[in-house]
Chain A
Amino acid sequence: MARSWTLATSYARRELRGGLAGFRVFLACLTLGVAAIAGVGSVSSALVEGLSQEGQTILGGDVALRLAHREATPEEFAYISQGTRVTKNAEMRAMAQAPRTDERTLIELKSVDGLYPLYGDVTLNPQMDLADALAKKEGRFGVAVEPNLMDRLNAQVGDILKIGELDVELRAVIEHEPDRVGGGLALGPRVFVNDAAMAETGLIRQGSLVQFFYRIQMPEDARTNGAVAAWVDDLREALPDAGWRIQDRSDSAPSVRRFVERVALFLSLVGLTALVVGGVGVGNAVNSYLEGKREVIATFKCLGAPGTLIFQMYLVQVMALAIVGVVLGLLLGSIIPFVVQQVAGDMIPIPTRFALYMGPLVLAGAYGLLTALAFAIWPLARAREIPASSLFRDLITPTRRWPRVPYILATGFSLLGLVGLAVGLTEERLFAIWFVVGAAASFVILRLTAVGFMALAKRAPRIRVPELRLAIANLHRPGAATSSVVLSLGLGLTLLVAVSLIDGNISQQVSDELPDRAPSFFFVDIGPDQVDGFEALVRAVDGVHEFNRVPMLRGKITDVAGTASENLSVPPNVKWALQGDRGITYSREMPEGSTLVRGDWWPQDYSGKMLVSLSEELAAGFGVGPGDEITVNVLGRNLTAEIANTREIDWTTVGINFVLVFSPGVLESAPHTFLATVSMDAGEEAALQRSVTRAYPNITSVRVKEALEAVNSMVEDFALAVRAISMVTLVAGVLVLGGAMAAGHRRRVYDAVVLKVLGATRGRVLTAYLYEYALLGFGTAIIASAAGGLVAWLVITQVMDARWTFLPGTLVATVVGAAVLTIVLGLAGTWQALSAKAAPVLRAE
């Protein structure tokens, strides 16, 4: 065995002297796929590593505590500030108005004290100290704002802004806020004020939706993850009923990290698809290389070489080249993060640690080699079956036999290895499995349709237009590239269609359908003393169709059916409900948009033990039902209620709805504010907002249209990135197409010359080729559109539970684009064939 490998290697080395011309596409396919996977892996490692190393900066401290509605009690504060440094920030949504331009906008207001920030720096423009920028000067406080506030208010540095009841001076623009990532989705620009100014705005009232953050810096010798975790454990034990959300530096931005990891997983699966598409090109290249070696192989056989030696000899050559391709890909892939850093480093909102990460590179290399094996073994195994007698036969009678079983198994194992790596190395296993299943199904469907397509072309009636008949005949001829083009181009297109349709559906929902069903405004922080006057004011405005108001508080679930929520293990889909505080309300009647599932609604005049109505999703997730108890911490008090019933909530109406609705009683007497929704004519929205801010400066209005725009632009940015990576798959498909064209080039030149000898003009030959590529392009695009459409439909209706809108524009664009691409590439490859002089070709044979 070893001897035969040595021999094979030395023959292989001799043969490789012949040059690598036929392997350009082979190398390009492997390099591209490996580079994509390595690049995605390296960039995401840089992000995740950045998040973990900069945990304290993102969090703003080693530990961050968040309280809803209330500040820490003196005892609580005394405990957390023992031997540590603590900065207190109040954060809330509010309105800012610029009297000079009479514009107003929702802002994310944040008050800071002298210690802020504990980690990292705030940079302002013009350059100044944060405390200095916010300080009271000549009787007026200052604010620092994010740049987009300037656009929204048409304001400039030096302007006066009205926030709540306070006039402040816009002193500086925020260039960098160190703990921005931890902050979650921003509906408006950030505005910094200092504590004293915050107090004077009058925004912080009983029940207003304000969150207090206590960010804590440990003494230098207690900043390790272990020491921090121990401190947190002690805190939980000492103050179990504080009701705060606790986060520490070890996982400072879990949702961001999860997001990065998911995106990275998705993109690397897309990269893997590109690699597999390229695998078709790899297989083709090996095939046509071996086709050219038939004579050599037959001669070897004549000289008595066994089939195994032939297999080994060419396997060594192919894998040597594969290693070259993989190494090139890894080099390219490991450069990508640094390119990203150069080009977009400033735009990445989270800290990054760009470096060489071995993990993703090793993985990408393994993917590359496995792909090469999976696609090369098959043609290699068939080549070893080439009989010595084939010296006297040609293309028309290829060795049609299947490879022997061991080789089929080896191909299978390589593919399994790919799937195993893709699925085994991620925590999002289900998603990876679905992706692999989808890609494999698309692969099989495309393969089958390609076969069907060729069979159809073969059975097509003889069309009277000779150019068209030639084109159709070309699709099914022996050695036609139809199958590999349909497969490779089709897979890339399927992915692109699926991504485009899913993205299109989401943005259709967000930008077209939601606004129709959603109210025009949410108003929050309406004080109990204001709510009647506010309602009267709104109802008096022209164009208002609907007004709804509900009381609103925030509370944190601390205990479910006797188990503390930290100790509760629940499925991932309901985990969010236990993290941090939720909006809660009380009501006599069941809210609109709800349907009872279990239990009964309490009577109108109920006034007994506190009851709660829970969303069925949460109840099922927690494994509780009517009769069980739930404890919620509201304003530092633990309130225990019995579950009276569960409701199915229709969230698509975007009205007011709460997962927790309590019976009236205890909550009525707790300090709280009201939440109101208003539906109205779009034309009057600005007027309403203006009169509300004027009359009630403390009431925050969220214009749904603007909020949705913010969400939509985030979705769009994300979709753009996904589409860009999907393009890599398409590029791989195009490479395969190009490879197939190049492989068929000699045949095309010959065909063109013979056609010309028989009296065809260049125009007619060109037309025939044009028809052929158009058929191929349109055919592939239609199949891919159907497959991609199916995938998108499944994702939208089954996974996302959303309404499906058919988007013909996207499909047509894809179909036409693909056809044009195929035609252009095909003709570019054939142009030379068309203009080839007849005489030399005829002489050469």
Chain B
Amino acid sequence: MNVDHAATSSSLSSGSASQDAVVQLQDVHLTLPSDAGDVNILRGISLDVAKGEAVGLVGPSGSGKSTLLMVLAGLERQSSGSVHLAGADFSKLNEDGLAKFRLAHVGIVFQSFHLVPTMTALENVAVPLELAGHADPFGKAAEELEHVGLGHRLSHYPGQLSGGEQQRVALARAVAGDPEILLADEPTGNLDGTTGEQIIDLMFDLHKRRGTTMVLITHDADLAQACDRVVRLRDGQVENIAPGTGRVMPQDKVTG
């Protein structure tokens, strides 16, 4: 398909602005004030991600991966440089504009889930759908939970769920609105091996089936290799970009 083709071509011409790129970062700097003076966290990052592409983001702890993800999500504003997502120029959007942009285009999964503890699983997943004015937010939310294998846990509160289950709720919430872009920050970091594996399978399944563009931060080299491209950060700069091997979907073992 066209989408696959574009993804491949973009991965070859990385760094240059492309018409098909869903994510375009141009010389992004981020400086934050701290007790010990200003800290340059991002120091000139340029990166394009094509539509439907999966990008693995790796690098030592403190290299700026999470910060970069925050910038991509519009939760942190760059000090200089330009950020374009899905054709929108972030520097032209205010806080509320960015929120609306996320609602329409972006889903996010965090290492520590960030579910609302006083809402049930179903309510948590329904929130973005409600905000977007979906016709049947709770029906769709239930469907999404079903899809991640939590159809029997709808009315449980996060505190009553295991870590893996919570992360599946978070994932269901992130993709419920069919976002074009899925951002994930070490989604398996707080989970044990097998549980983590389930989450990753679900994510790649969605990525494949819906053609979602994906940026995935991970410590796991194998997992990073499963992406179309692997971007390595060091000290707030892109150290190198390498093509990944892509993931062979074990079709028979998804969706548990």
Of A395, A473, A479, A761, the most chain B CB neighbours within 10 A belong to A761
- Residues of B close to A764: CB separation below 8 A: 131
Contact for A759 among B103, B118, B157, B159, CB less than 8 A: B103
- Residues of B close to A757: CB separation below 8 A: 73, 75, 102, 108, 114
Known A-B contacts A473-B123, A845-B114; the reply to A756 vs B99 at CB < 8 A is yes
Asked if B96 is an interface residue, CB under 8 A from chain A, the answer is yes
The interface bits of chain A over 833-845 (1 if a CB of B lies within 8 angstroms of the residue's CB, else 0) are 0000011001101
A758 near B95 with CB under 8 A, answer: no
The size bracket of the interface on A is 20 to 34
A758 near B128 with CB under 8 A, answer: yes
B159 near A394 with CB under 8 A, answer: yes
Known A-B contacts A477-B118, A747-B118; the reply to A761 vs B100 at CB < 8 A is yes
B66 near A759 with CB under 8 A, answer: no
Asked if A1 is an interface residue, CB under 8 A from chain B, the answer is no
Chain A nearest Cβ from B147, distance in angstroms: 18
Of B100, B108, B127, B158, the most chain A CB neighbours within 10 A belong to B127
The size bracket of the interface on B is 35 or more
Asked if A599 is an interface residue, CB under 8 A from chain B, the answer is no
- Expressed in whole angstroms, the Cα–Cα distance for A553 and B110 within the complex equals 94
- Which partner residue on chain A sits nearest B106 by CB separation? A759
Q: Which of B74-124 contact A (CB under 8 A)?
A: 75-76, 95-96, 99-104, 106, 108, 110, 112, 114-119, 123
Known A-B contacts A396-B157, A396-B160, A757-B73; the reply to A473 vs B114 at CB < 8 A is no
Of B96, B117, B132, B177, the most chain A CB neighbours within 10 A belong to B117
Asked if A763 is an interface residue, CB under 8 A from chain B, the answer is yes
- Residues of B close to A762: CB separation below 8 A: 95-96, 99
Chain A nearest Cβ from B72, distance in angstroms: 12
- Residues of B close to A838: CB separation below 8 A: 70, 75-76
A394 near B104 with CB under 8 A, answer: no
A839 near B76 with CB under 8 A, answer: yes
- Residues of A close to B158: CB separation below 8 A: 396
B117 near A761 with CB under 8 A, answer: no
Asked if B173 is an interface residue, CB under 8 A from chain A, the answer is yes
B123 near A466 with CB under 8 A, answer: no
Asked if B27 is an interface residue, CB under 8 A from chain A, the answer is no
- Residues of A close to B177: CB separation below 8 A: 759
A760 near B66 with CB under 8 A, answer: no
- Expressed in whole angstroms, the Cα–Cα distance for A598 and B205 within the complex equals 98
- Which partner residue on chain A sits nearest B123 by CB separation? A473
Asked if B20 is an interface residue, CB under 8 A from chain A, the answer is no
B116 near A751 with CB under 8 A, answer: yes
- Residues of A close to B119: CB separation below 8 A: 473, 477
Asked if A754 is an interface residue, CB under 8 A from chain B, the answer is yes
Of A397, A762, A839, A843, the most chain B CB neighbours within 10 A belong to A839
B118 near A758 with CB under 8 A, answer: no
B110 near A842 with CB under 8 A, answer: yes
Contact for B159 among A393, A750, A754, A843, CB less than 8 A: A393
- Which partner residue on chain A sits nearest B70 by CB separation? A839
Asked if B130 is an interface residue, CB under 8 A from chain A, the answer is yes
- Which partner residue on chain B sits nearest A843 by CB separation? B66
- Residues of B close to A473: CB separation below 8 A: 119, 123
A469 near B130 with CB under 8 A, answer: yes
- Which partner residue on chain B sits nearest A838 by CB separation? B75
Asked if A561 is an interface residue, CB under 8 A from chain B, the answer is no
Asked if A462 is an interface residue, CB under 8 A from chain B, the answer is yes
- Which partner residue on chain A sits nearest B105 by CB separation? A759
- Residues of B close to A747: CB separation below 8 A: 117-118
- Expressed in whole angstroms, the Cα–Cα distance for A477 and B119 within the complex equals 7
The interface bits of chain B over 135-154 (1 if a CB of A lies within 8 angstroms of the residue's CB, else 0) are 00110000000000000000
- Which partner residue on chain A sits nearest B107 by CB separation? A758
B96 near A761 with CB under 8 A, answer: yes
* Chain B contact residues: helix, strand, loop or mixed: helix
A759 near B116 with CB under 8 A, answer: no
The interface bits of chain B over 163-191 (1 if a CB of A lies within 8 angstroms of the residue's CB, else 0) are 00000000001000100000000000000
A394 near B117 with CB under 8 A, answer: yes
- Expressed in whole angstroms, the Cα–Cα distance for A842 and B130 within the complex equals 22
Chain B nearest Cβ from A478, distance in angstroms: 5
Asked if A316 is an interface residue, CB under 8 A from chain B, the answer is no
Chain A nearest Cβ from B139, distance in angstroms: 10
Asked if A755 is an interface residue, CB under 8 A from chain B, the answer is yes
Known A-B contacts A756-B99, A758-B173, A760-B103; the reply to A395 vs B114 at CB < 8 A is no
B127 near A755 with CB under 8 A, answer: yes
- Residues of A close to B75: CB separation below 8 A: 757, 838-839, 842
- Expressed in whole angstroms, the Cα–Cα distance for A394 and B112 within the complex equals 15
A479 near B130 with CB under 8 A, answer: no
Contact for B138 among A462, A478, A480, A763, CB less than 8 A: A462
Of A396, A462, A759, A839, the most chain B CB neighbours within 10 A belong to A759
B102 near A758 with CB under 8 A, answer: yes
A397 near B99 with CB under 8 A, answer: no
- Expressed in whole angstroms, the Cα–Cα distance for A747 and B106 within the complex equals 24
Contact for A395 among B102, B117, B131, CB less than 8 A: B117
- Expressed in whole angstroms, the Cα–Cα distance for A146 and B101 within the complex equals 77
- Residues of A close to B133: CB separation below 8 A: 466
- Residues of B close to A845: CB separation below 8 A: 112, 114
- Expressed in whole angstroms, the Cα–Cα distance for A480 and B130 within the complex equals 22
- Expressed in whole angstroms, the Cα–Cα distance for A759 and B75 within the complex equals 11
- Residues of B close to A397: CB separation below 8 A: 159-160
- Expressed in whole angstroms, the Cα–Cα distance for A838 and B114 within the complex equals 12
- Expressed in whole angstroms, the Cα–Cα distance for A754 and B128 within the complex equals 10
- Residues of B close to A469: CB separation below 8 A: 130
Contact for B130 among A394, A466, A478, A761, CB less than 8 A: A466
The interface bits of chain A over 87-121 (1 if a CB of B lies within 8 angstroms of the residue's CB, else 0) are 00000000000000000000000000000000000
- Residues of B close to A760: CB separation below 8 A: 99, 103, 127, 131
- Expressed in whole angstroms, the Cα–Cα distance for A843 and B67 within the complex equals 10
Chain B nearest Cβ from A294, distance in angstroms: 13
Q: Which of A806-845 contact B (CB under 8 A)?
A: 838-839, 842-843, 845
- Expressed in whole angstroms, the Cα–Cα distance for A91 and B75 within the complex equals 85
B131 near A466 with CB under 8 A, answer: yes
Known A-B contacts A758-B128, A762-B96; the reply to A478 vs B157 at CB < 8 A is yes
- Which partner residue on chain B sits nearest A763 by CB separation? B96
- Residues of B close to A763: CB separation below 8 A: 96
B96 near A759 with CB under 8 A, answer: no
- Expressed in whole angstroms, the Cα–Cα distance for A366 and B137 within the complex equals 56
B100 near A759 with CB under 8 A, answer: yes
Q: List 19 A-B contacts (CB under 8 A).
A: A397-B159, A466-B133, A473-B119, A478-B157, A480-B118, A754-B114, A754-B116, A755-B131, A757-B102, A757-B114, A758-B127, A758-B173, A759-B131, A761-B95, A761-B96, A761-B99, A839-B76, A842-B110, A845-B114
- Where the two chains meet, the residues of A that have a C-beta atom closer than 8 Å to any C-beta of B are 393-397, 462, 466, 469-470, 473, 477-480, 747, 750-751, 754-764, 838-839, 842-843, 845
Q: A393-B159, A761-B99 are in contact. List 19 more A-B contacts (CB 8 A).
A: A396-B118, A396-B158, A396-B160, A466-B137, A469-B130, A479-B118, A750-B116, A751-B118, A754-B114, A755-B127, A756-B99, A758-B103, A759-B131, A759-B132, A760-B103, A760-B127, A762-B96, A843-B66, A845-B114
Nearest 6 pairs of A and B residues by beta carbon: A759-B103, A396-B159, A466-B130, A761-B96, A477-B118, A759-B102
